[in-house]
Structure 1
Amino acid sequence: GLFSFESDAQRRDWTTSGPHLGGWEVYSALGDGHQGDRILTGTSHMAYGPSVRVSENGGGNWSQIPEGPSYSAESGFTLNRVWQIVPGHPSAPDTLFAGVEEAGLFVSRDRGATWAELDALTKHPTRAGWFPGAGGMCLHTILIHPDNPQRMWVGISAVGVFRTDDGGETWRTCNEGLARVPVGTPHPEVGYCVHKMVLDPDDPNTLYMQYHQGVFQSNDGAESWFPIENGLPGDRISAELGAPFGFPIAVSRSGDLFLFPLESSEQRTMRDGRLIVYGMRRGSDRWEPVGDVVPDEPRHVSVLRDALTIDSLEPYGVYFGTTSGEVFYSVDGGVAWDRMPGQFGRILCVKTWIQEDQDAA
């Protein structure tokens, strides 16, 4: 289900509500602070399958969108989950995008009421060579150029990065500099296990990525990638030359980066049971352990790819949820941490938004 926390701009005292959508897995959530208390979620149920559900009153009531994302029977694809829902470019305020598993991209031009597939991506010439990662073949990241609504990037596990420069009419692979995953695909352009990507807040040609085998940066719009791993602990077990393994990566409005290095790709829990956040401040070229979240207790847990986020306030707040169902937050750049009230199931995603009329996060 979905749980919500609400506070004022100081973010010290929180009120909790939920569970909303009890019994449903919630893989994605989008709160629209400009449209009152509107929330869209990508949900999945073992009996009823995937759907997009919407609340117009902050979670009080929910309805399923009848014409949600779906593949045609002729496509041969199955829609298993809705992994991501994001707003479109600010110049198109009614536009939303959804990334799904099996990997594909859908668009709504009417605030989520109806959806259509951008099928140029699923018809890409490399499609026969797409293979899933351990978590499925999911399109989990959607990034939109802030100055050019025609340019977008998507990340697919374990396929790679694609970019469009014409609003989704055509797509090209953008994986130069990354190490391929040995999935046996005959297409050398794909077979790259992207875990998460974020866009630099000041330079839209700069992107950052947590990859299966390391952490990378691009300064040319994803034309090429290079590692940024100075200061990060490496993978202790696998044969991937000690590349740092993890799932999420997040960037603040000031350009500070955060992530969680794990033991290894085989042992996907915190190193030595210590829940430590690593950060790289704007202007630095080195990662540092910026916060030991629970120094007195072991936490052999993980943080999943969409369970780390940063709000847009000043100073910014950092939030994450663990696979053991705890939510932690910091309002001083990740140095000191507090725990949200409550214990939940495995946390798949953590999202923040500002309700402007209430000055709440």
Structure 2
Amino acid sequence: MSVTALIGTIKGSWLLRADDARQVWRLEGPAFKGWKVTAATREEDGSYLLATASDVYGPALQRTRDFKEFEQLESSPAWPEESGRKLKQIWRLRAHGGSIFAGVDEAGLFRSADGGATWESICGLNEHETREAWQPGFGGLCLHEILVDPTNQDRMWIGISAVGVFRTDDGGVTWNSKNDGVPVILEDQDHQGIGYCVHGLVQDPDDPNKIYRQDHVGMFVTDDGGDSWVRQEDGLPSTFGFPIVMDPHTRHLFCLPLESDEFRIPVDGRFDIYRSTDAARTWAPSSTGLPRSDTYAGVLRQAMAVDGCNPCGIYVGTTAGTIYVSNDVGESWATIPCHLPRILCVEALMED
């Protein structure tokens, strides 16, 4: 078994490869030189799907089995011209239940049931009764999170900035806002249940109703599938941050607090990854080997990932193009000797 971390940047993608011991790493690339690489997923047949974007040619999907030869799909998610919407970027890809789901900017959810040959708009969400009041966050009006219930294919959660979390219980026909307990940041008197800025979501693999939420205004957890949220921030130096990930074996959680909305840099210049070992009730730094001072690069919402090894590996890419890795559930960290372009996404992929 080997581990490959796909690093998507504003100027192409790189691969970080190692065996499952993850002691010695090699960097390969770039692919798609000059293009943004914004998302990736492993498909159920073992192939890989990458999302690319160009300021000139727009977004596209690329398929590969070996990261050496790529095939651009003829079809990709698209808004009809009469909608007046523009599809700027694919933010999230998720393969599940024989389908591929894509979350995009301008915010929407699309599904392909034929391996990407055709795509359908999930109209229950994309034409939601609150749609006219959806507002973008600083990073755009983007659907960047897709969670699925492994026990019920009809149940799914999505996160949109700056709209909030929605859940479907009927396979995408209807969607309900699931933000109770989280402070609203863009209040709309005519449309309740929106105006929330979710930054990151992660789901307990054994309990799909237990979801952790890094929000614009804090860290929250739900035990009832999003029907209610409770703030859980004890030990965090700041309530603001973007990614949140979970070790699938220990259920330990990891995040990177940033100073504030106005100053999106590590608190006091210390690049501190925080870990919770008790379901987000308390947090503490887990940063041995990380920079202790004068570090002001942040981490974007999709630029932290975990692998499936035991002990778990964690991968963090920064806006300055630095990569940090841990092969022991955050007990210690190493810096990969490279200086990449601004890192947009990191995906950890297990290979036979």
TM-score (norm 1): 0.91
The counterpart of 2:106, out of the listed 96, 102, 113, is 102
Aligned amino acid, residue 200 of structure 2: K
Q: CA deviation at 1:39?
A: 2.2
Q: CA deviation at 1:116?
A: 1.4
- Structure with more of its chain in strand, by fraction: 2
**Higher mean C-alpha deviation, range 183-192 or range 65-74:** 183-192
Alignment of 1:251-290 (within 5 A): 251-253=246-248, 254-282=250-278, 285-290=281-286
Whether the 8 Å contact between 1:131 and 1:183 is mirrored in structure 2 is no
Alignment of 1:77-96 (within 5 A): 77-88=85-96, 92=97, 94-96=98-100
Alignment of 1:66-215 (within 5 A): 66-88=74-96, 92=97, 94-182=98-186, 184=188, 186-215=190-219
1:217/1:110 CA distance change after superposition, 3 Å: same
**Higher mean C-alpha deviation, range 196-205 or range 156-165:** 196-205
Structure 1 spans left out of the alignment, 5+ residues: 235-243, 357-361
Q: CA deviation at 1:347?
A: 0.5
Q: CA deviation at 1:61?
A: 2.0
Partners of 1:95 and 1:122 in 2: CA distance: 18
After superposition, the CA RMSD in angstroms is 1.5
Whether the 8 Å contact between 2:271 and 2:292 is mirrored in structure 1 is no
Whether the 8 Å contact between 2:233 and 2:280 is mirrored in structure 1 is no
Tell me the equivalent position of 1:311.
307
Q: Answer 1 or 2: higher relative contact order, Cα 8 Å, separation at least 6.
A: 2
TM-score (norm 2): 0.93
Whether the 8 Å contact between 2:179 and 2:229 is mirrored in structure 1 is yes
Identity over aligned pairs, percent = 42
Please list the CA deviations of residues 14-38 of structure 1 after superposition, one character each: whole Å capped at 9, or x if unmatched: 2221100111111101134x645x3
Partners of 2:227 and 2:293 in 1: CA distance: 43
**Paired residues, number:** 340
Aligned amino acid, residue 223 of structure 2: N
Q: CA deviation at 1:343?
A: 1.1
Q: Deviating runs (4+, > 6 A) in structure 1? A: none
Q: CA deviation at 1:201?
A: 1.9
The counterpart of 2:242, out of the listed 247, 266, 271, is 247
The counterpart of 1:18, out of the listed 13, 16, 29, is 29
Whether the 8 Å contact between 1:277 and 1:292 is mirrored in structure 2 is no
Tell me the equivalent position of 2:3.
none
1:200/1:73 CA distance change after superposition, 3 Å: same
Partners of 2:182 and 2:140 in 1: CA distance: 20
1:44/1:185 CA distance change after superposition, 3 Å: farther
Q: CA deviation at 1:294?
A: 2.7
SS of residue in 2 equivalent to 1:261: strand
Partners of 1:16 and 1:309 in 2: CA distance: 17
Partners of 2:164 and 2:208 in 1: CA distance: 19
Whether the 8 Å contact between 2:290 and 2:334 is mirrored in structure 1 is no
Q: CA deviation at 1:183?
A: 5.6
Partners of 1:283 and 1:72 in 2: CA distance: 43
